[in-house]
Amino acid sequence: MHFNNHNSTHEWVLKVENLTKIYGEHTENTLANTGPSKGTNICPETGSIVACANISFELFPGEVLGIVGESGSGKSTIVKQLFFDLDVTMGSALLRPFKNGEVNIFEESNQKKRFMRNHLMGMVYQNPRDGLNFAFTSGGNIAEKLLMADLFHVGKIRERAAELLDKTEVPVARMDDLPAYFSGGMQQRVQISKAIANNPPLLFLDEVTSGLDVSVQARVLDLIRGLQHELGIAMIVVSHDLSVIRMLTDRTLVLKNGRIVERGLTDQILQDPQHEYTQLLVSSLL
Amino acid sequence: MIENKKFNTSYNYAFIDETTKKEIRRKLLKAVCIPGYQVPYSSPEMPIARGWGTGGLHVTLAIIGQSDVLKMIDQGSDASVNACNLRDFVHMTTDCATTFDTREATIIQTRHRITEEKLSDKQIMVFQVPQPEPLRRVERYEYKTRQMHAESDYAKMWLTLYEAYVKWGDVMQGAGYPVMVNGRYIMSPSPIPRWDVPNLNNSECLYLFGAGREKRLYAVPPHTKVEPLEFEDVKFHVEDFSNVKCESTGYNVAYMDEMYQDDGVTKKFYVNDSNFLDKLIEKEEVVQHSNKYIKKIKDALQ
Amino acid sequence: MATILEVTNLRKCFNLHILNDKKIEALIDVNFSMEEGEIVGLTGKSGSGKSTLMKTIYRTYLASSGEMNYLSKTFGKINLVEADEHQILQLRRKEITYCSQFLKVIPRVTAIDVVADTIVKKESDRPLAREISTDLIKTLGLPPELWDAFPSTFSGGEQQRINIARAIIAKPRFLLVDEPTASLDTKTKDIVIELILGLKKNGTSVLLITHDEYTLQRLSDKTIHLQHGQILEQVFA
């Protein structure tokens, strides 16, 4: 077989085009007035804030894509839009497992979006309180995701929850405890369990280790790598921490003022950064 | 028109003005068309406080005609103060006939019970509903619960059942057990005991629900599928009276009242539905609701 | 025998924006080619551009200009300078392996698993992969008590063995290896040399950086001397 006309567009699991999020009123000049070349993401004419603009990328099955940049660069905005936590201003995203990737998922009904969230995506937030309901037990939090996918068998739900907690190294005996009684690292593990409960083909990780101390951080990263290896989930890892990016990702997007300033293989971004901002970022690495 | 002697003015028939009654009837039609869906309505002022049965009263007054026979019950009893006053009020403003006999009635307004006696396709049962929103316990914002209903997003509701099972080994909710209506909307059946919940399913009569304070109407039309939420392995069940007997009749295949005696220790049980109890005492023939739970109890007795 | 890699007019210039756009010419007009099953040694002083060349081929560094035509099994002839990231990732997974001087591993993974992970595609492969991995580290003389220990705690020589085992276990088509024998004793050095020769016998092409004269003599079919980023001479063994 010859792959000389190898066309990679047939393989992506997620294809994002021109994803843009602007807060406040904006004019046609807003995008031109902002961005890394202007050093700001606030439009001087209208005062609107460009959280991210013209973000385009493809994610392949089993691939781990890193998004790196300083606070306020628009990293989280991207995944939050893809997970439907935020509305988009402009742009499209195609998701292969949904209608064979032929429709812009942002234009689908709320019900369809919820289906995608429950069946095709998982999200792990920086703050476990965003991803977990602290009024419910840790097992219950996982159960919620399974109930969303119409599993109405308590025995099977508990079996699956136990399996997931075991996989994420949370003592199964604590399944019926409230996450409020857990340590930060353990809460994060429960959140990961919940996110992967329905075997989604796509997982978003938003600064998952930022609030944790180093040894706990290492274990959570370990866990994510192990899960990636075992389940082959495509992931988008958002982090300001280059070591997290180095450890987890294959490719990386570098963001500044809401725009992609550089993209490439992660080892290339870290060892041969091209953009001035990336060079600064990498040289600041401890 | 019924003369009001005190202020020398006249009330409209059935107290509420015709336009408002028409509005309520229109909303009821909508409710019947979309079983289990909560229809907002005007909920006009009544001469009783909101929360004391205004919703039920609105519905009753909007649908009642002079040929109707009204029965009014409060937790199974025709004789409680509340039932008496509401019955008197409807009678005063409509001059309709009233009755204690379940079989005779064409409209039965009720608080927290369904009659033990089977209802026919000539009868309408009107429920007074304190909290029409079954999701309120899991979501405090109205705009969100509406969205959840619109999208059949009921995982949180199911989750409370799961959590109850984990905590207590059973789903403990006694009154107002949530039901799925017509496979589409989760509905609060008003605080009726579990015993009554299966009687909503595939009934002959029309069930109408009015929540005056919350300004919502909803309905379960005849022959609609109404299923209590249950897991595949943790099933819904009704109250168990197998170990007790009614002091007056010895009967126990009905919802029972538990009465503490004057010594404060001993308790006696009585059939809760007063008209049903009377008929049992008089040894009249009564046809009870039939559902799989009652059938199972009766089978076990034989 | 087919040419597996043909490098023409390769130039790599680092442009350091944060140091007032300072430019460092690391590779200047590099031309050479490699055949299938050939071992090419890269020598030169520190800073002569050996590692830069290797990393540029592996695409850790982006070439500034020139071509690197690689004859791939997956894509046929492909210019590594222009290939898209997914193609490079695929080549790295299936054909091209880079073995650096330093071991970078995930903490808390045992030695056997670090090596086995390379060939585990799905979890059901693991038992067999662990067997192969165990055989390999045994051959490399890693003491049995370390097999189930974490490599981050190993000595330099022990880490080096893990690193080599990890690089060769998948039998790559094209192996880039940086100082494979640097911190090893003579006996282990010979084992590593034999393992690399074994790969060569199976058709693997190897680009090798070494300061060690003995290793170079035993392995290389051709030696390229670099100086100041330029090829000084190519010597055939």
pLDDT in tens, C132-177: 999 999 999 899 999 999 988 888 888 989 999 999 998 999 999 9
Closest CB from B150, B152, B163 relative to A136: B163
- C32 vs A: CB within 8 A: no
Rounded to whole angstroms, the Cα distance separating B12 from B21 reads: 11
Question: Which token pair is C222?
Answer: 């051709």
Q: What pLDDT was estimated at residue A10?
A: 56
Question: Which token pair is C7?
Answer: 């490098």
Pick the CATH number of B2-134+175-228 from 3.40.50.11310, 3.30.420.40, 3.40.50.300, 3.30.420.130: 3.40.50.11310
Per-residue pLDDT averaged across A23-31, rounded? 89
Q: Are C26 and C52 in contact (CB under 8 A)?
A: yes
Rounded to whole angstroms, the Cα distance separating A227 from A224 reads: 5
Q: Are B283 and B235 in contact (CB under 8 A)?
A: no
Q: Does residue B3 surpass a pLDDT of 80?
A: no
Sign of the CA dihedral B272, B275, B276, B279?
A: positive
Closest CB from A111, A148, A154 relative to B162: A154
Q: Give the containing element (helix H, strand E) for B215.
A: none
- In B83-194, the DSSP E strands lie at 97-98, 107-111, 124-128, 179-181, 185-187
> Is the residue at A161 inside a domain?
yes
Closest CA to B38 of B105, B158, B118, B135: B135
- A268 vs C: CB within 8 A: yes
| Residue A9: band (very low, low, confident or very high) from pLDDT cuts 50, 70, 90 | very low
- A155 vs B: CB within 8 A: yes
- A279 vs C: CB within 8 A: yes
Q: Where are the domains of chain B?
A: 2-134+175-228, 256-301
| Cβ contact C84–A8 (<8 Å) | yes
Measured in whole angstroms, the distance separating CA A165 from the mean position of its chain's CA atoms is 21
Instruction: Name chain A's partners: 3 or more CB pairs within 8 A.
Output: B, C
| Minimum CA–CA partner of B154 in chain A | A148
Rounded to whole angstroms, the Cα distance separating C207 from B136 reads: 69
> Is the residue at A177 inside a domain?
yes
Per-residue pLDDT averaged across B84-98, rounded? 93
- A134 vs B: CB within 8 A: no
Does the reported pTM lie above 0.90? no
- CB contacts < 8 A, A to B, total 45
Enumerate the β-bridge partners of residue A265. Answer: A251
Task: For residue C136, give its domain range.
Answer: 3-236
Q: What pLDDT was estimated at residue B6?
A: 56
| Cβ contact A143–B156 (<8 Å) | no
| Cβ contact C117–A229 (<8 Å) | yes
Torsion of CA C124, C125, C126, C128, to 10 degrees: 130
Task: For residue A228, give its domain range.
Answer: 61-84+109-283
Give the three-state DSSP class for A133: coil
Question: Which token pair is B296?
Answer: 């199972």
Q: How many domains does chain C have?
A: 1
Instruction: Name chain C's partners: 3 or more CB pairs within 8 A.
Output: A
| Residue B72: band (very low, low, confident or very high) from pLDDT cuts 50, 70, 90 | very high
CA distance C60 to chain A (A): 4
Helix-then-strand count for chain A, H and E:
11, 9
| Cβ contact A251–C89 (<8 Å) | yes
| Cβ contact C16–A279 (<8 Å) | yes
Rounded to whole angstroms, the Cα distance separating A68 from A206 reads: 11
Establish whether chain B is in contact with chain C, requiring a minimum of 3 CB pairs below 8 angstroms: no
Closest CA to C91 of A202, A234, A265: A265
Q: Does residue A4 surpass a pLDDT of 60?
A: no
Which tens digit of pLDDT belongs to each residue from C61-89? 999 999 999 999 989 999 999 999 999 99
N-terminal to C-terminal alpha carbon distance within chain C: 18
Q: Are A224 and A248 in contact (CB under 8 A)?
A: yes
| Cβ contact C61–A247 (<8 Å) | no
Which residues have a Cβ under 8 Å from the Cβ of A225 and sit 6 or more positions away?
A247, A248, C106
CA distance C237 to chain A (A): 34
DSSP chain A: ---TT--GGGT-SEEEEEEEEEES---TTHHHH-BTTTTBSB-TTT--EEEEEEEEEEE-TT-EEEEE--TTSSHHHHHHHHTTSS--SEEEEEETTSGGG-S-GGGS-HHHHHHIIIIIEEEE-SSHHHHS-TTS-HHHHHHHHHHHTT---HHHHHHHHHHHHHHTT--GGGTTS-GGGS-HHHHHHHHHHHHTTT--SEEEEESTTTTS-HHHHHHHHHHHHHHHHHH--EEEEEES-HHHHHHH-SEEEEEETTEEEEEEEHHHHHHS--SHHHHHHHHT--
Q: Are A13 and A96 in contact (CB under 8 A)?
A: yes
| Cβ contact A152–B159 (<8 Å) | no
Q: What pLDDT was estimated at residue B187?
A: 97
Q: Are A172 and A165 in contact (CB under 8 A)?
A: yes
CA distance A110 to chain C (A): 33
Residue A222's CB is within 10 A of a number of other CB atoms, namely 16
CA distance A23 to chain C (A): 32
Amino acid A28 reads E
Which tens digit of pLDDT belongs to each residue from C214-237? 999 999 999 999 999 999 888 887
Percent of chain A with pLDDT over 70: 96
Mutate to test the interface with C, among A7, A169, A263, A268 (most CBs of C within 10 A): A268
- A10 vs C: CB within 8 A: no
User: C63, exposed or middle or buried, with CB in 10 Å at 0-12, 13-18, 19+?
Assistant: buried
- C16 vs A: CB within 8 A: yes
| C-alpha distance from residue B138 to each of B71, B92, B135, B165, C76 (Å) | 35, 41, 5, 16, 59
> Is the residue at A33 inside a domain?
no
| Cβ contact A147–B234 (<8 Å) | no
- C144 vs A: CB within 8 A: no
Which residues in C lie closer than 8 A to residue A232 (C-beta atoms)?
122
Closest CA to C168 of C195, C134, C135, C143: C195
Mutate to test the interface with A, among C82, C86, C93, C100 (most CBs of A within 10 A): C86
- C85 vs A: CB within 8 A: yes
| Cβ contact C18–A279 (<8 Å) | yes
Rounded to whole angstroms, the Cα distance separating C196 from C175 reads: 9
Closest CB from C17, C76, C123 relative to A276: C17
Q: What CATH number is attached to the domain comprising A113?
A: 3.40.50.300
Per-residue pLDDT averaged across B207-226, rounded? 97
Q: What pLDDT was estimated at residue B7?
A: 55
Q: Give the containing element (helix H, strand E) for A261.
A: strand A259-265
> Is the residue at A264 inside a domain?
yes
Q: What pLDDT was estimated at residue C192?
A: 93
Q: Are A64 and A234 in contact (CB under 8 A)?
A: yes
| Cβ contact A6–C87 (<8 Å) | yes
Q: Does residue C118 surpass a pLDDT of 90?
A: no
Q: Does residue A8 surpass a pLDDT of 60?
A: no
Mutate to test the interface with C, among A14, A230, A265, A281 (most CBs of C within 10 A): A265
| Residue B5: band (very low, low, confident or very high) from pLDDT cuts 50, 70, 90 | low
| Minimum CA–CA partner of A155 in chain B | B233
> Is the residue at A50 inside a domain?
no
Rounded to whole angstroms, the Cα distance separating A104 from B38 reads: 33
Which residues have a Cβ under 8 Å from the Cβ of C95 and sit 6 or more positions away?
C72, C73, C74, C172, C173, C174
Question: Which token pair is B153?
Answer: 């997003």
Question: Which token pair is B191?
Answer: 């605080």
DSSP state of C151: G
Which residues in A lie closer than 8 A to residue B233 (C-beta atoms)?
153-156
| Cβ contact B156–A114 (<8 Å) | no
> Is the residue at A148 inside a domain?
yes
CA distance B63 to chain A (A): 37
Residue B15's CB is within 10 A of a number of other CB atoms, namely 20
Q: How many domains does chain A have?
A: 1
Q: Does residue B238 surpass a pLDDT of 60?
A: yes
Residue B282's CB is within 10 A of a number of other CB atoms, namely 8
- B234 vs A: CB within 8 A: yes
> Is the residue at A21 inside a domain?
no
Q: What CATH number is attached to the domain comprising C70?
A: 3.40.50.300
